[in-house]
Amino acid sequence: MEQSTRPLEGLKVVELSIAIAAPSCGRMLAYFGADVMKLESLQYPDVVRLFGSAWARTPEYASVFTDTSPYLPEMNANKRSIGLNLKVGAAVDAAKKLIANADVFLTNYSTPAVTDLGLDAATLRALNPRLVYAALPAFGSDPSLPYYPFISWGPNQAPLVGLDAVTGFPDQEPAGVASFAPPDYFAGLHALMAVLTALESRDQTGEGSWVDLSQFGTTVAALGPYLLDEQLSGTVVERSGNRSAWYAPQGVYPSRGEDRWVAVSVTDDAAWQGLAGLLDRAGPAATGGETGFAADPGLATAEGRRERHDRLDTALAAWSSTRSAAQAAVELQAVGVAAHPVNDTEAMLVDPQLAEYRWYQAVPCFRFPDGDLVGGCALRLEDTPGHWEWAFPTMGEHTAEVLGSVAGLSEAEITELVEQGAAYVPAEPGLSLHRPYQHLLGLLGLKGASR
């Protein structure tokens, strides 16, 4: 299918990044047409490459192990990979030639690290006054700040700023969300907004910008209402599990089967009357001995229900545990109560909303020509939609191409960089890979989808 022009086509982005924060921003820019050129080192590969895949931990795949990580499509789809060892001066010079012809430089390495490489904002903006220099270090770029020299990851940021302190159940220790590190994604989304804003400013003034974005600051911003409440009223928000300060009953309740749950939220008095009638009709044997919910005046208001939240949880859990999560959700929805099964990843793969959204696609790339699984983008533009052209670049896949066409190096200069270890080209260029689960893509209706 012929694609319409994407809104960021023609935009050149040089990305020096690691893990999630800056890569997630670059991925969205690439989805909408920006030419995102990721600088990568074979000696110091991005952590998402280091994960690799369990099936590739063999001598046969040792040279291409960093091309097998299932995380690569989630962070590097549509990007071009330029292999440069920035510990070598000639590689830094080549990177500067790229940046001199770029619109955006995007990095989430620490400010001291990029400064030591000679890629600090002052140097690069002097080289390219129209450059939007977007830095996402953990604690900003001001050396006078107390945390300036520290290095941090998303899972470190969450406890540092108090996010973990309000996550979990009141009778248990804090439960941080370390498996996907929300602070990293907060920073990536803030960076996307900041880069687009700076580009808009450049269109009006002709001048580039230095975007100094602290991951610490973006995570604190997520807790703004809590901080303001404490400052104005002295209220310290405590862990509340699956409950909120406004609604009752609200939570996640057991359903029939192993580790199956249904999420329920009664958001107003009308919904409560629907739930109360449902429980009363089920009878005390189905609600742990409780009855008379609809007629109880103490439960007619949200305040009263919050005061007896434990009692309501016990009754609702007794009722839901005799049903499948889907059945419980349907019965609750029928009486006006917000409810839905708690989906695991297996359920999400066959979720009808995601299927219609075409969230998962099998997109070919250099190393996986039959397609690799790529997740979608939540931002949808009707007239100028984005799309995936390749799942991810193999390490150094575009080194020669980009150093020639963008940096202006000759073929001899590129060859010299490669020979002295300052630049890298793909290992095993003729080796195509196939994931063990490749055949399952067809069962999901994904086999052969390229856009």
Domain membership flag for residue 68: yes
Same structural domain, 323 and 375: no
Domain membership flag for residue 394: yes
Same structural domain, 315 and 404: no
Last residue of a domain, one of 341, 366, 398: 341
Q: What is the pLDDT of residues 252-282, one digit of tens each?
A: 999 999 999 999 999 999 999 999 999 999 9
Same structural domain, 46 and 167: yes
Give the count of domains, the chain: 2
Same structural domain, 51 and 194: yes
Mean pLDDT estimate for the chain: 92
Domain membership flag for residue 241: no
At residue 123 the predicted structure's pLDDT band, cuts being 50, 70 and 90, is: very high
Q: What is the pLDDT of residues 153-186, one digit of tens each?
A: 888 888 898 888 888 998 999 988 777 788 999 9
pLDDT number for residue 445: 64
In sequence order, the β-bridge partners of residue 40 are 83
Same structural domain, 39 and 141: yes
Same structural domain, 116 and 47: yes
Query: Out of 232-246, 293-307, 314-328, which region has the weakest mean confidence (pLDDT)?
Result: 232-246
Query: Out of 63-67, 117-121, 232-236, which region has the weakest mean confidence (pLDDT)?
Result: 232-236
pLDDT number for residue 203: 96
Domain membership flag for residue 420: yes
pLDDT number for residue 437: 80
Domain membership flag for residue 210: yes
Range of the domain at 173: 12-221+353-443
Same structural domain, 39 and 106: yes
Last residue of a domain, one of 318, 341, 364: 341
Q: Is the pLDDT of residue 307 over 80?
A: yes
pLDDT number for residue 156: 87
Q: Is 352 exposed, middle or buried (0-12, 13-18, 19+ CB in 10 A)?
A: exposed
Same structural domain, 422 and 332: no
Which CATH number covers residue 131?
3.40.50.10540
Q: Is the pLDDT of residue 4 over 60?
A: no
Q: Is the pLDDT of residue 449 over 70?
A: no
Same structural domain, 366 and 331: no
Last residue of a domain, one of 341, 371, 393: 341
Query: Out of 132-136, 262-266, 350-354, which region has the weakest mean confidence (pLDDT)?
Result: 350-354
CB 428 within 8 A of CB 64: yes
Same structural domain, 45 and 187: yes
Q: What is the pLDDT of residues 391-406, one digit of tens each?
A: 999 999 999 999 999 9
Same structural domain, 283 and 390: no
The rounded distance, in Å, linking the Cα atoms of 40 and 424 is 9
Q: Is the pLDDT of residue 450 over 70?
A: no
Same structural domain, 335 and 366: no
pLDDT number for residue 2: 46
